């Protein structure tokens, strides 16, 4: 591989002469109608073309008449990995280059042997195509501005990634060949696998045949970052600066693999089966070292029976049902909701009259058929608030009555009635009736 040294203008120049010599050119120059040996006339035009010399850019050729002025194309070509220096001028008919410092047209070998310096033309420079351009050249093939490039320089540092060793940063440039240090870094408990190449500006790794990918893209796409071995010689090429990123530094990052034993566990085997009463145990064995690991197996579910009622539900209290596990005999209880008392509650009684006769109060009310076993009268001394209850059995007539005896003179009594129902040991009362009063005279 050819080596170029940054700042050595001549060697760069030679490099471009070589590149140029390989590029065939299409000539658009006008024909000098006077034939050879005749000095150029003002009516003669010359094709002035551009050769980006590995870069990119659009540069249409121009036709410039002798002695006319023109502007060097103002656009700068681009070439990843290189800095544009300017244009060198090549005369196509004799393949000579214009050398600076009044030297004039020389072949590339003459320039190299005499340490001449190629004249560099900046974009936008105004020039006149005069006598100095012709200087005895009479075949009138025209001129080409050839882009001159300086390779950019790059640093490639080493990231030992937890290891140790002495590694100096590599300084290289586009198309230069460099060698990765032959030294191998060290790290306790790890084996060195090689170097991954990291582009510092975007944190991406080089994947052979793919390009630059983030570590996330590498793992999701199942790629492998390229591994570089110690002592490998590489040429810094265009693949390093693809994606237009041509001014980043780079890092060789050590890739390590743990040398610690990683268990290779076999399938789980049940040592003790779990039941509803107790957890079980299972174990597996490492095929590498024979170590056994164990863990518990969760208890199984109890198998409950249908349950028995140990306390039946009533209208004013809930009941209890007890279940027993058919496997282990464990019991559990759950409540049975209270019965729906609304279904067995008597309706409200309507008292039709409460009349006095002597020391008696005769109370009459309408019979309630449904949910009724009897009635309860509440007779209250309106002055003292004292109250007594009298139960009356259910009767057959539509209107029922009760005579309350032995009341006191000069007192006023109020009376109200409610029906009641009896189911088992529970008495269920309906709502109180309207209130009637009677005065004993």
Within 8 A by CB and 6+ apart from 366, the residues are 349, 350, 352, 398, 399, 400
Q: How far does Cα 327 stand from its chain's mean position?
A: 49
Give dist(CA 314, CA 336) in Å, integer: 9
Rank residues 243 and 303 by Cβ distance to Zn ion and give the closer one.
303
- Our finding on whether 274 is near Zn ion (CB under 5 A) is no
Give dist(CA 402, CA 382) in Å, integer: 19
- Our finding on whether 288 is near Zn ion (CB under 5 A) is yes
* The binder of Zn ion chosen from 22, 289, 298, 343 (CB under 5 A): 289
The site that binds Zn ion (CB under 5 A) totals a number of residues, namely: 10
DSSP code string of 21-46:
HHS-----PPP-TT-TT----TT-EE
- Paired tokens of 399: 């209107």
Rank residues 161 and 331 by Cβ distance to Zn ion and give the closer one.
331
Return the residues of window 133-152 that contact Zn ion according to CB under 5 A.
Answer: none
Kindly indicate which of the ranges 30-38, 61-69, 100-108, 294-302 contains the residues binding Zn ion, using the contact rule CB under 5 A. 294-302
Give dist(CA 310, CA 148) in Å, integer: 105
Cα dist. 187→88, 254, 262 in Å? 53, 10, 18
- Our finding on whether 276 is near Zn ion (CB under 5 A) is yes
Kindly indicate which of the ranges 135-143, 157-165, 296-304, 391-399 contains the residues binding Zn ion, using the contact rule CB under 5 A. 296-304
Binding mask 227-266 for Zn ion (x = CB under 5 A): ------------------------------------x---
Q: Nearest CA to 400 among 419, 380, 414, 379? A: 419
- Paired tokens of 203: 């944190």
Binding mask 315-354 for Zn ion (x = CB under 5 A): ----------x-xx--------------------------
* The binder of Zn ion chosen from 302, 402, 418, 436 (CB under 5 A): 302
Phi, psi of 366 (to 5 degrees): -85, 135
* The binder of Zn ion chosen from 127, 184, 245, 286 (CB under 5 A): 286
Rank residues 333 and 399 by Cβ distance to Zn ion and give the closer one.
333
Rank residues 320 and 325 by Cβ distance to Zn ion and give the closer one.
325
Helices (DSSP H) in 265-418: which residue ranges? Answer: none
Chain contacts with Zn ion (rule: CB under 5 A): 263, 276, 286, 288-289, 291, 302, 325, 327-328
């Amino acid at each position: 591989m050819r080596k170029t040294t940054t700042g050595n203008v001549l060697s760069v120049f030679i490099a471009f002469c070589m590149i140029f010599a390989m590029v065939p050119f299409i000539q658009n120059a006008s024909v000098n109608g006077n034939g050879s040996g005749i000095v150029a006339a003002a009516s003669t035009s010359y094709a002035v073309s551009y050769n980006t010399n590995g870069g990119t850019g659009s540069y249409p050729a121009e036709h410039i008449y002798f002695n006319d002025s023109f502007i060097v194309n103002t656009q700068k070509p681009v070439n990843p990995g290189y800095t544009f220096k300017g244009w060198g001028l090549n005369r196509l008919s004799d393949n000579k280059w214009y050398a600076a410092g009044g030297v004039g047209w020389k072949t590339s070998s003459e320039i190299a042997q005499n340490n001449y310096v190629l004249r560099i033309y900046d974009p936008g420079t105004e020039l006149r195509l005069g006598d100095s351009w012709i200087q005895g050249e009479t075949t009138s093939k025209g001129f080409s501005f050839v882009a001159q490039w300086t390779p950019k320089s790059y640093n490639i540092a080493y990231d030992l990634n937890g290891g140790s060793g002495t590694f100096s940063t590599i300084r290289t440039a586009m198309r230069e060949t460099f060698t990765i240090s032959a030294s191998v870094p060290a790290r306790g408990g790890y084996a060195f696998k090689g170097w991954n190449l990291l582009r510092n500006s975007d944190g991406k790794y080089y994947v052979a045949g793919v390009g630059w990918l983030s570590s996330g893209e590498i793992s999701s796409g199942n790629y492998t970052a390229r591994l570089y071995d110690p002592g490998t010689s590489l040429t810094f090429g265009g693949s390093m600066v693809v994606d237009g990123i041509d001014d980043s530094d780079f890092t060789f990052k050590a890739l390590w693999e743990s040398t610690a034993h990683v268990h290779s566990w076999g399938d789980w085997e049940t040592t003790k089966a779990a039941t509803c009463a107790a957890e079980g145990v299972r174990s597996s064995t490492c095929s590498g070292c024979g170590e056994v690991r164990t863990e518990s197996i969760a208890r199984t579910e109890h198998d409950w029976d249908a349950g028995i009622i140990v306390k039946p539900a009533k209208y004013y209290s809930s009941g209890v049902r007890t279940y027993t596990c058919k496997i282990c005999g464990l019991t559990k209880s759950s409540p049975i909701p209270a019965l729906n008392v609304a279904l067995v509650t008597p309706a409200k009684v309507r008292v039709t009259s409460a009349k006095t006769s002597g020391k008696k109060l005769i109370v009459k009310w309408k019979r309630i058929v449904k949910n009724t076993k009897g009635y309860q009268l509440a007779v209250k001394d309106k002055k003292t608030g004292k109250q007594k209850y009298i139960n009356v059995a259910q009767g057959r007539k539509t209107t029922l009555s009760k005579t309350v005896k032995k009341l006191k003179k000069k007192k006023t009594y109020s009376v109200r009635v409610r029906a009641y129902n009896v189911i088992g040991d529970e008495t269920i009362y309906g709502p109180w009736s309207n209130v009637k009063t009677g005065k004993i005279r």
